[in-house]
Structure 1
């Protein structure tokens, strides 16, 4: 199985094969428009602008599972992303990333790059939030919060998982290494 075996729904509900992204470096993100991490859109836009012409894509999957911070329909979320945050890359259908209704793509991503630790700026605060929700949060590979990112190389290998608090400079450096 590879990343290219998956199909996902775009923001208009059309099925899209990830084979369309074969040969590109991908950053797959679960996002939310009303989260403390939402300002990451600004840096993600900059990273996209810098690397897109070199074969880099960001695939954005809104998710409302963390603090109900992605309210509204996929259309409404896309409108906020495009108009407020000026997001230029692909925004897909709103999905679940954990639980019995988790999108198969995210199940695959979590298996390929298991959870290790929350690090970076804001890690202490996020850990407290997570402990309050589930004191055993460290014991599974679930997505922990909005703006978890998975980096995929040009061959479709899931090579890195970035938790929401990790420095986007590290994400950018890892992308640059793959390009």
Structure 2
């Protein structure tokens, strides 16, 4: 089995359409991911090998981080009265954006630089730079003193296990 990063590179950056098709098929089969992007920076990162991600973006800018089960795509509709398509176009994701687990970004929207899209958010409107988006198209300013979800260096597995054990101990203490 070809590793995720090789498949991602072949799917998104190869000049050979046959190499792209083969990589796309293997990404879908092995990782449950579809990744199609008109303009994608090489620095884009997918956590958990993009498991469950469906990505149809106009642009993924530098240093974007996308977690699992994220959907980015269109929400166009056909107007029967005017006989025209409306809301055409896929999202543009700005620089240094983090998109958390299960988020959906749909339609011709722009997600501004340095923004965090919260877990399970449904975003159908533009989000200004330096924001936190959550719920259904809810937005608030991002606190400049914090990075949410992703910041290098990431905590070690031992750090996460220790923090989880503290919670388990706290829970167990409540039982008595």
TM-score tier (shorter)? under 0.3
TM-score between the two structures when normalised by the length of structure 2: 0.26
Higher strand share: 2
Give the structure with higher Rg (CA). Answer: 2
- Could you state the TM-score of these two structures normalised by the residue count of structure 1? 0.26
More relative contact order in 1 or in 2 (CA 8 Å, sep 6+)?
A: 1
